[in-house]
A and B are shown apart, each in its own frame.
Chain A
Amino acid sequence: MPLLRAAARRLAIFIGTVVVASIVIFLIVQALPGDVAQTTLGMGATADAVAALRERWGLDQPLAVRYGQWLVGMLHGDFGSSYITGASVVSQMAPRLAVTGWLVGFSVPLSLLVAWPLGLVAAMFRRRWPGAVVNALSHIGLAIPVFFVGTVATIIFAVNLGWFPANGYVTLGTSVSRWASHLVLPVASIVVVQACFLARYVRAGFIDVLTEDYYRTARAVGWTRWRGLVRHGTRNMATSLVTVVGVQIASLLVGAILVEQVFVLPGLGTMLIQAVQARDLVVVQDVVMLLVFAVLLLNFVIDMVYMAIDPRLARGGRG
């Protein structure tokens, strides 16, 4: 089974990449110059006090030992405790993961839903004005930072029109309607930027379909220009979009962190930024590791999915 062997090889590479990534993250945080204990206690602290704190945090042990403890702990679901508050990182992360999860969970399908018709129109009219307009829009959309989109949306829809709250978050359990209204603007901001990003790939995918023989066949059996492209293009376009999703997730991550800041949402990004400001190294290390792991895992899954689809397309589609 060459397929199985290839999958095993991919899995090995994935695990190796995760381990190396964890080493990189650990080293950047722990081995770069900068003494956390000293910073935490301030410049006036006595050497004894600093040494005591270093011992309490385990910073006096060799790097390799600390890395080993961190890695083994994570494998057991123990992400350690915050230097600053002493609280367990896992218990802090759980509710924040939910906020970021909603944000990302709504944004991905919605941005695909918006990008699809945009890309379709841009592909069909690629030599006429609607194509140029969509093209220009996606250009401009890519140039506008997501936090600016969020800020402008707040100014218009929260401050001036008062349709939605300007910032903050309410859990789903507290009130469904208020939870939803707090998510509308953040999600919309991400969707605007992501849709512009995706629309270019959707467009390129549909343009490829337009030159394919099976599209000509579809037209020859009676599909109209548009319905034929929708019917026989979407699925073929989507297979080429699979590889882009990995890139999208990585960029979505960044978008989510920024948008959480704009709308003061208590998500992982906010937790991360607060931890950086407080120089809470354990929290930073853990959250970044979690996010990197998520991206790597997703890419691995996409690779596997693609491998499952690919033999069919390789023999059937490009003959």
Chain B
Amino acid sequence: MKRLTVIVGLVCSGLVVLAALVSLVWTPYNPRRVDPGHKYAPLSWTHLLGTDMQGMDTLSRLLVGAQTTLVVGVLAVAIAAIVGVPLGIFVGMGHRFVGEVVARGMDILFALPALLLAILLAAATGASVGTATIAIGVSTIPIFVRMTRAATLTIMNQDYILAAQVSGTPTPVIAVRHVLPNIAPLLGVQAAASFSMAILAEAGLSYLGLSAPPTTPTWGRMLKDANIFIAPTQAVIPGIAIAVAVLGFNMLGDGLRDYLDPRLKEVR
């Protein structure tokens, strides 16, 4: 069962990464080539996944769309981790007052999900991949803070930390040399899980037109632009792509967690 999770996760996420890589060097057609003669082409050997309302090749756009998905996901998780992990370690090692301030800040962020943040940013500066990435990244920070803080707290109770403290090792050195390496596996699991959530959020934002500009193919926008009365498959295809990507990274995270968490392995 666990092995199945990992395999499915690897296959699904691998497909998405592969699609993005392939699209860098090759796509069946130019994903932006408008072909009024072949609007709403059905699935066929010439257009494997058909064409959209402007005659653009769906497979080509799907492959290119994987790029946006992955780039936004990677950058958003990076933002969340770069801000959230040090903050979490700091709070976990630090004193009460700082913890309280950070906790209140996280409360506010919690009430501002990625979508609302993206809406605010888009209203202020115009929608772009950048605003979408920042919005998703910032709204993911609390998850990293919470997880890092909890993990740090348990590690701070270990004897070797006490030994280091007693021997006068400076706190930042303890953080980097002892705490960080010990929570790294957990961070990896969290990153994978957050990555799948970021993909889901990005799809929603591009569906609402709050991400990449209309000229850039994204899965969310392909779904939004599809005419479900004339060519419903054109809506289903990008939808499945989103689901496969989200599911893939999610299961990868789950599988990783089971693999890395020795406590769970022991019990039956």
Contact = CB atoms under 8 A, between A and B. Distances in A.
A253 B113 contact: yes
A277 interface: yes
B135 to A, nearest CB: 10
B70 interface: no
The binding surface of chain B is classed by DSSP as: helix
**Which of A29, A166, A276 is packed against the most chain B CB atoms within 10 Å?**
A276
A151 B120 contact: no
Given A142-B250, A254-B115, A261-B208, A20 B104 contact: yes
B235 interface: yes
A20 B196 CA distance: 30
Contacts of A159: 228-229, 232
Q: How large is the interface on A (under 10, 10 to 19, 20 to 34, 35 or more residues)?
A: 35 or more
B60 to A, nearest CB: 21
Given A29-B124, A151-B223, A155-B235, A144 B243 contact: yes
A296 B110 CA distance: 9
Interface string B229-256: 1001001100100110011001100000
Interface in A25-75: 25, 28-30, 32-34
Q: How large is the interface on B (under 10, 10 to 19, 20 to 34, 35 or more residues)?
A: 35 or more
Contacts of B224: 147, 261
A257 B208 contact: yes
Interface string A266-300: 00000011011101110011001001100110010
Interface of A: 13, 16-17, 20-21, 24-25, 28-30, 32-34, 132, 139-140, 142-148, 151-152, 154-155, 159, 166, 250-251, 253-254, 257-258, 261, 272-273, 275-277, 279-281, 284-285, 288, 291-292, 295-296, 299
A140 B228 CA distance: 23
Interface of B: 1, 104, 107-108, 110-117, 119-127, 196, 200, 203-204, 207-210, 220, 223-224, 226, 228-229, 232, 235-236, 239, 242-243, 246-247, 250-251
Contacts of A34: 124-126
A251 B111 contact: no
A211 to B, nearest CB: 12
B58 to A, nearest CB: 15
A143 B200 contact: yes
B207 A276 contact: no
Contact of A20 (B108, B209, B229): B108
Nearest to A20: B108
